[in-house]
Amino acid sequence: MYGGEILDGEKINQRLESVSITVQEMIMSIDSAVRRQEACVRLYGVSSFASMLAMKRGEKHELPAIAGLLHHYYYYQTGIKEFLGPNSAEAVRPLLRDMNIFAKEEQIIILQAIFHHADRSRTHGPIEETVKDACVLHLYYQNTGRNLTQQDALRLHKVFQELQIPGYVSEESHSSDNEEMRKISDPDRHSKLADIAQVLAGESIIGVPGNERYREICSYWPDRDIYKVLQNSWCAAFVYHCCRLAGFLLPIRYPNGICRFAGVGAWLEWAKLPETGFYYEDGLSGFTPQRGDIVIYEKLLSDKSHDHIGIVLACGDNEIWVAEGNRDNRNFSSILYRDRWSSILGYIRIDNSYKFNFSDSYNPVI
């Protein structure tokens, strides 16, 4: 529907075609011909399976087909594999909104299907499950070894039974789980964050597209004009980049959060969540800043709250030594001393064992 209007078949096809054009523009921007081909096969393949399954189940096929087209949008745009569902949902959220051809309720349905498509351990709504099943079908038919995880194999067996397709699906063993647990329990991640920040900030990164380090900092954010968006405003993006390199992995926006982690407010909101509890104020409950903490400043550069952010390298009685991107909004990174008792809101100390896990309801901001 357009703002409540019932759509006929022609308008439905026009909407699907509009999304397809957006996807094609993204695919054509990929440098590698191999990855362009992979993106076409994957996105259009999952979309076709989702459409077919929806029709078989007596559901309207348009929204599942659109969710299938967009489910890995972020990955093919950036090459970043982590958080395939949450990051793709966040990347396409403004695109769907700005097309102005979907009602708010439809946007939410599409985004929820994208967000949950990789979470096959839980059961969600009918469209989410249709897209998940479409992903598994595509993995099976495009994987020459036809090996799936146990979870996906069980799901595929059910889909085969539903479609009355005989078939044998082999399961692959995963040895990466132990490696992942080893990484998240690494006691050095906190100090590694400071080491990385110190090296990068010491390179005097300049916030212009010609600077390789600045391009790396911008690489996570899907905005087409991201270099201009972040120019003179990339202190939080610098922290996000350092955290990722240190092994503290987060999606580009915490689900239902006020903004992306390219903004200081997102870090403050996330650190104060009941499930994290990473926010501290100096001196309260015996807290003293340490190397590897994240510092959030208060009206340091403006009259606005939490207007700057950096990473603590050392703490003295009256000063902290910090690594910052976009020092003083002057568009370059730096290592410097700041007054410990002035213009500081608080600190974030990420637990070394932290691993992103979101089990609440996803309610995207439209």
Nearest to 312 by CA among 220, 208, 216, 193: 193
The backbone region for 354, taken as left when phi is positive above 0, alpha when psi lies in -120 to 50, beta otherwise, is beta
Cβ–Cβ under 8 Å, residues 315 and 321: yes
Q: What per-residue string of b and e applies to 120-130 under the rule 16 or more CB within 10 Å gives b?
A: beeebeebbbb
The CA-atom distances, in angstroms, between 168 and each of 49, 114, 332, 357 are 19, 28, 57, 33
Tell me the whole-structure pTM to 2 decimals. 0.91
Cβ–Cβ under 8 Å, residues 126 and 289: no
Tokens encoding 166: 């005989």
Each residue's pLDDT expressed in tens, for the chain with a length of 366 residues: 334 444 555 566 799 999 999 999 999 999 999 999 999 999 999 999 999 999 999 999 999 999 999 999 999 999 999 999 999 999 999 999 999 999 999 999 999 999 999 999 899 999 999 999 999 999 998 875 667 888 898 999 999 999 998 876 766 644 444 444 444 445 689 999 999 999 999 999 999 999 999 999 999 999 989 999 999 999 999 999 999 999 999 999 999 999 999 999 999 999 999 999 999 999 998 999 999 999 999 999 999 999 999 999 999 999 999 999 999 999 999 999 999 999 999 999 999 999 999 988 999 988
How far apart CA 199 and CA 238 sit, in angstroms, is 12
Burial status of residue 350 (CB atoms within 10 A of its CB: 0-12, 13-18, 19 or more): buried
Q: What would the DSSP string read from start to end of 48-75?
A: HHHHHHHHHTT--SHHHHHHHHHTTHHH
3-state DSSP assignment of residue 259: coil
